[in-house]
Amino acid sequence: PPAPPLPSVMSPSRVAASQLGQQGSDLIVPAGGQRTQTKSGPIILADEIKNPAMEKLELVRKWSLNTYKCTRQIISEKLGRGSRTVDLELEAQIDILRDNKKKYENILRLAQTLSTQLFQMVHTQRQLGDAFADLSLKSLELHEEFGYNADTQKLLAKNGETLLGAINFFIASVNTLVNKTIEDTLMTVKQYESARIEYDAYRTDLEELNLGPRDATTLPKIEQSQHLFQTHKEKYDKMRSDVSIKLKFLEENKVKVLHNQLVLFHNAIAAYFAGNQKQLEQTLKQFHIKLKSPGVDVPSWLEEQ
């Protein structure tokens, strides 16, 4: 006899029913009867998630490698085995700048010593003038003699204070030139020298790789070394350009500042020892120097504005 026809709907087993029931919990049936899935399983994007610890470890590895290469380059240069890139013209300008800085620092120390000694002398002259003035009032028979000396010492003290103001202005300007302007340029020079060492270190590394065999193992290393060499070469060229520009502007600024300050120093000293009080005061007015009156406090910031 022919086989009975299969039913059009098969009843699911208990296992299938339980699986369908679990999946049904993730579904919402809207009014129209269409099911919409609202939940999904966890999605991991391994390429987009970055581990901070791994990033720090990679930075430390790069820093260690760079430090090793630079240290090896420095030792090779000191031992006379490694080659170094030298810009003769720029190196000569840097050497002159460092030598001038030492000489300007010596002038600054001597000017500060002169200022201290002059301050002590002016203080002594002022006290001596007060002593003469007191004796002039108490010694009638020597009234005129004590009076002359009192006036002389007070005039010398006044001129000394004027000269002291000019010297202190000279010291402040030279100090700014030496310890700020020149020092800022020397900081750029240090950065340039560090960039030069890195450039030579990676240049030496690339040259050593090019002398070796070229195969599937070494070619990726050569390409990476070429990329690093080009990066440090661009940095070196930029720092060399920055140093050249700063040296040029420093020379112009140095000449202008020292010209004015040396004229001030000369005119003030000459007028003081010539006893020309008017010329001494005129020198300070020419350079817009204001003297602090005895017993007067420094004006506040608001008063200066």
Q: How far apart are CA 302 and CA 265, in angstroms?
A: 31
Task: Check: pTM over 0.85? Answer yes or no.
Answer: no
Side chain identity at residue 51, one-letter code: N
The pLDDT assigned to 300 comes to 40
Going by their DSSP bridges, the two strands 36-37 and 27-28 should be labelled as antiparallel
State the first-to-last Cα distance of the chain, in angstroms, to the nearest integer: 119
CA distance 193 to 86: 10
CB 168 within 8 A of CB 265: no
> pLDDT confidence of 9, banded at 50, 70, 90?
very low
Q: Do 90 and 244 meet the contact criterion of CB atoms below 8 Å apart?
A: yes
Choose the weakest-confidence range: 12-16, 214-218, 276-280.
12-16
User: Has residue 150 got a pLDDT over 50?
Assistant: yes
Exposure string of 125-150, with b = 16+ CB inside 10 Å and e = fewer, is: bbebbeebbebbeeeeeeeeebeebb
Q: What is the pLDDT of residues 276-301, one digit of tens each?
A: 888 888 888 888 887 765 444 444 43
Q: Looking at residues 89-116, what average pLDDT do you find?
A: 95
* Dist. CA 275–CA 39, nearest whole Å: 99
Digit-coded pLDDT (tens) for 151-210:
999 999 999 999 999 999 999 999 999 999 999 999 999 999 999 989 888 888 888 888
